[in-house]
Amino acid sequence: MAGNVEVAHRVQPTSSRLTLPKLGEGFAQVVPALILILLLFNVPLVIMLGWSFYPLETPLANYEQIFTRSIYLKVIGNTFYIAALTTVACCLLGYPLCYWMWRLSPRWRLIIASIVVLTFWVSILVRTYAWIVILGNDGIVNRLLLTWGLIDSSVSFLYNQTGVIIGTTNVLLPFLVLPLFAAMMRLDRRILLAAETLGAPKGVIFWKIFFPLTLPSLAAGAILIFILTLGFFITPAILGGGRVPMIANMMDLLINRLPRWELAAAISGVLLVFTMIFFAGYQWLNNRQQAS
Amino acid sequence: MVSSRDARRKAPAAGSWTDSVGSWATTVVAVSVLLFLALPILVVIPMSFSSAEALTFPPPGFSLRWYESFFGDARWLQAARTSIIVAVASSTLAAVFGSAAAYGLVRGNWFGRGAIEANFLLPLIVPQVITALALYMYFARLGILGTLPGLIMGHTVLGLPYVVLIMTVAIRSFDVRIEQVALSLGSSWSRMFVSVVLPNLAPSLAAAWLFAFVISFDEVIITFFLAGAHETIPKRMFNELMLQVNPTITAIATLLISISIITISTLALLARRSGLLR
């Protein structure tokens, strides 16, 4: 019966009479979701990219505007600047945390990892909101600095680049820490043990063995943070207070305030191309990591 | 692994004082980073019980006024209702469509399977603001912009990649021979599916559904663009935060944090049961 055919097919995959009807096995189950994602994701994306070439007489006019007008260039430059600083901050903060977690006992490792996972899991909105309370003019940081006499009047951390970078780093840090920590855990500890038995000092072991071995994972994490910051919307909108425009917020402006859909579509196109280029780099690093 | 650690500890301290300084420095830096990560949660929870009118930390006294102000506000409650309706509907759709697709992707062996699987994961890579914008223009043309079904469809697209990811891993680890045994013993395919496949995959399916639920429940950007006059909790929070700082939000934030803790513990339990973590 059906089962016998199935088993026969597994045993003798070369038997063409039996494999032919099996070629499409599983395809029927994929179809509904495939239609869904084509209609609600791929098609809208293509239509939007089509919009970016509108009006058709001058198909590249929108792209030309983006790359020649100083307002748009400034926003793109600003976004890349913030993304770069956030990436550096995430690496500098994330790597020591991962390394420390890696050296802990399994029990403590689990506890600390759970805390990181929890921060990752709590809504971005909630985590962003807290920074208003912490960094505001009457916030915790300012009041501490005033009490300690380190400053005479409140320092503005909010509604400028500093606030956006602090908030974005805080929100995105788990995206670097969790994969990097997982990569460290996959590392063969016997390599380090071998170096130790051969008499290498701890510093040498770290800088000559551990760090080089985990560097590709750190680089992959850095690219991920960079991509995520490029398209970041919530935190810049709230902590930037409209004064730190990033690409995503400009798209909101072009759609909801001054309806210029074709321009917003073109900016999406530019952002998409940048994202895909960096994602290709991320994939390349990950594949290389797995191959070695 | 444990033995190598012990060996390392017992090894005579070949390093100099620089090693222990380095070790201490790492600990100090790491603990500070951990504090930085957890700071938002540590600040928001006590603030939500504050009796003060303004946002002051530490709170001067205990009160539940911000919780009262949330539960007494019909608009917030309506937003909560919309959030739950959208999250339940979209995560259920994503779970049904996504796990069927995952089953087909794992068990099938046809040309183009890899490309289709990659396409299912694409919404994770494309910046959400781009997806939101594309759907906005598309729905505006179709005339369903600002409707609840439109919003649910948008959230389904976001939940689908997570369901496909979780379920392909789960189905891959489920031995196909068990299905073949049931079939060869004379069971029909549908009977086999219901009494062999489903019970085994149920914990993973629940985890995938919960994941999609939380993705939808916390979602801001797609909702911001597509919801029109409809309000979800995150959308209203976002809009309020852009204008002013209302302490009621600390209460909502604390409620959201507790929901996060509950869902993540449930997910951990489900993962252990389904063997996903093994």
How many angstroms separate the CA of residue A70 from the nearest CA in chain B?
22
Structural domains in chain A plus CATH codes: 1-51 (no CATH), 66-291 (1.10.3720.10)
Return the pLDDT at B53.
Answer: 75
Which segments of chain A have a pLDDT < 50?
1-21
Contact B37 A173 (CB under 8 A): yes
Q: What is the pLDDT of residues B173-201, one digit of tens each?
A: 888 888 889 889 988 888 888 888 888 89
B207 has pLDDT over 60 = yes
Give the model's confidence band at B2: pLDDT under 50 very low, under 70 low, under 90 confident, else very high. very low
- From the candidates B8, B9, B19, B37, which should be mutated to test the interface with A, based on the most A CB atoms within 10 A? B37
B84 vs A: CB within 8 A: no
Query: Are residue B71 and residue B43 in the same domain, yes or no?
Result: no
In a domain, residue B149? The reply is yes
pLDDT of residue B243: 78
Are both B109 and B172 inside the same structural domain?
yes
Q: Which H or E run contains A24?
A: none
Q: Helices (DSSP H) in chain B: which residue ranges?
A: 2-10, 17-48, 65-71, 74-107, 113-125, 128-142, 148-172, 176-184, 189-192, 198-217, 221-226, 233-243, 248-274
Which residue in B39, B98, B164 is closest to A134 by CB distance?
A: B39
Residue-range definition of the domain harbouring residue B22: 2-48
CA distances (Å), origin A101, targets A93, A185, A196, A225: 13, 10, 20, 20
Domains contained in chain B, number: 2
Q: What is the tens place of the pLDDT at every residue in A47-89?
A: 999 999 988 788 888 899 889 988 899 999 999 999 999 999 9
pLDDT at B120: 95
Q: Which residues of chain B lie closer than 8 angstroms to A271, CB-CB? A: 127, 129-130
Same domain membership, residue B232 and residue B127: yes
Is residue B188 a part of any domain in this protein? yes
pLDDT at B128 over 60: yes
Cβ-Cβ pairs closer than 8 A, A with B, add up to 294
Q: What pLDDT is recorded for position A22?
A: 52
Does residue B54 form part of some domain? no
Q: What are phi and psi of A53, to 5 degrees?
A: -95, 10
Q: Lowest mean pLDDT: which of B9-18, B209-218, B265-274? A: B9-18
Structural domain includes residue B60: no
Asked if A48 lies within 8 A of B131 by C-beta distance, the reply is no
In a domain, B58, yes or no: no
Mark whether B221 and B130 lie in a shared domain.
yes
Contact between chains at B43 and A138 (C-beta distance less than 8 A) = no
pLDDT on residue A19: 39
Query: Which pLDDT score is estimated for A21?
Result: 39
| Nearest-Cα residue of chain A relative to residue B217 | A123
Note whether A14 contacts B: Cβ–Cβ < 8 A. no
Among candidates A122, A201, A275 on the partner chain, residue whose Cβ is nearest the Cβ of B41: A122
One domain, residues B83 and B147: yes
Asked if residues B233 and B73 have their Cβ atoms less than 8 Å apart, the reply is: no
pLDDT at position B61: 80
Same domain, B102 and B147: yes
Q: What is the mean pLDDT of residues B95-124?
A: 92
pLDDT at A162: 92
* Shortest Cα–Cα distance, A68 to chain B (Å): 22
Contact A122 B131 (CB under 8 A): no
Q: How far apart are CA A264 and CA A62, in angstroms?
A: 9
Q: Using a CB–CB cutoff of 8 Å, tell me whether B72 touches chain A.
A: no
> Between the ranges A196-205, B11-20, B46-55, B226-235, where is the mean pLDDT highest?
B226-235
Query: Does B12 share its domain with B150?
Result: no
Nearest to A126 among B56, B100, B257 (CB): B257
The answer on B16 and B106 residing in a single domain is no
Between chains, do A24 and B1 touch, taking CB under 8 Å as contact? no
Asked if the structure places residue B55 within a domain, the reply is no
pLDDT at B66: 87
Looking at the structure, tell me whether residues B24 and B112 fall in a common domain: no
Cβ proximity of A61 and A69 under 8 Å: no
pLDDT of residue A292: 64
Least confident of A172-181, A277-286, B144-153, B237-246: B237-246
Judged by CB atoms closer than 8 Å, whether chains meet at A122 and B221 is answered as: no
Same domain (yes/no): B141, B9: no
Whether residue B93 lies inside any domain: the answer is: yes
B13 and B95: one domain? Answer: no
Asked if B180's CB is within 8 angstroms of A10's CB, the reply is: yes
Q: Are residues B13 and B143 in the same domain?
A: no
Nearest to A44 among B97, B135, B245 (CB): B135
Measured between beta carbons, the chain A residues lying within 8 angstroms of B98 are 33
> Residue B95 belongs to a domain with what CATH number?
1.10.3720.10
B44 with A126: Cβ contact below 8 A: yes
